[in-house]
Structure 1
Amino acid sequence: MEQEHGYKHVLVALDINDDFQPLLQRAIGIARRHNAKLSVLHVDINLRDLYTEMVDIDVERVQHKVLADTKNKLDTILSGIDYPLERSMVMCGDLVEEVNQVIEAQNVDLLVCGHHQSFWNLLASAARQLMNTVSCDLLIIPFKAKK
């Protein structure tokens, strides 16, 4: 009988503005089953990509505040989970690039992420981009459509 593949490091990519609990619980269950490390990543948009120099705003200061607020929110969410965390990370930039960098740097062998099922997400899906670029196993959990 063939032995099941054992995961050593599970990374869950969360958008804390979505209903992330099903993703987080699925990742915890898999990590527990494999006695694997569990890490959590949230990627915010890089504000430098949104604002031009024509807008009078201190982008660096605003970005730092947004990241600090997001990190605090994520830490609060993760304080209630019942599995030890290897690390939680909040970054800004391109989701696919940041996820791939973390996968390589942290030796992740399973990425868990969510996917909204809608017409527009079929056209421009980060999940689709991840499928074509990640070097580890990928589990995509569909989010239920909001009514």
Structure 2
Amino acid sequence: MSNYKKILVAVDLSDESQIVAKKAQAIADGGSAQLDVIHVIEPLSFAYGVDIPMDFSGLQEEIQTQATQQLTRFAEQNGISATHQHVVLGRPEVEIHAMAEQIGADLIVVGSHGRYGLALLMGSTANGVLHGATCDVLAVRVGD
């Protein structure tokens, strides 16, 4: 039986997200916990730099629309209501921490590819979530 009451599941909407969601659902079912899901979209300016003199707003809006639709389908498949679905713009680890605080999560569940060495140092979202969280974090191994 789980002592967790509010669980935040962070997903990238890849096929592997189902593995993460199923693990979180098993924990939630064990203790009747509330399940929220978050997907974070990184602004295009993060990827391409802020000095590029291009307007990404139309493309960014389309990405947000597509992500919202995908998250809605994902959440419906996993029994997560619309009021517990969150699509936000920003740096994943920062936004996941902020949402966990906002909803009062006592567990964050995130996928991890089990990277090590240089790949881990160069930016694992799971690692970033783990090291800044104020609640428990479960990193579910996915992929390779």
- TM class, shorter-length: 0.7 to 0.9
| Structure-2 change in CA distance of 1:37 and 1:127 (3 Å) | same
Q: Pick the aligned partner of 1:121 from 115, 119, 122.
A: 119
Q: Which structure has the bigger radius of gyration?
A: 1
Cross-structure match for 1:131: 130
| Structure-2 change in CA distance of 1:34 and 1:85 (3 Å) | farther
Paired residues of 1:38 and 1:86 also in contact (CA < 8 A): no
Using structure 2 for the length normalisation, give the TM-score: 0.86
| Structure-2 change in CA distance of 1:54 and 1:139 (3 Å) | closer
Q: CA RMSD in A?
A: 2.0
Using structure 1 for the length normalisation, give the TM-score: 0.85
Distance apart, 1:25 and its partner CA: 0.4
SS, match of residue 128 in structure 1: helix
Counting helix residues as a fraction of each chain, which structure ranks higher? 2
Separation (CA, whole Å) in 2 of partners of 1:5 and 1:32: 8
Higher deviation after alignment, 73-82 or 46-55: 46-55
Q: Pick the aligned partner of 1:69 from 66, 69, 77.
A: 66
**What percentage of aligned pairs have identical amino acids?**
26
| Structure-2 change in CA distance of 1:51 and 1:135 (3 Å) | same
Query: What pairs up with 1:73-88 in 2 under 5 angstroms?
Result: 73-82=70-79, 87-88=84-85
- Where does structure 1 lack aligned partners over 5 or more consecutive residues? none
Deviations 1:53-89 (A, max 9, x none): 5443x32222121111111011112212246565111
Q: How many residues align?
A: 141
| Structure-2 change in CA distance of 1:128 and 1:64 (3 Å) | same
Cross-structure match for 2:108: 111
Give the letter for the 1:94 counterpart.
Answer: R
Cross-structure match for 1:60: 57
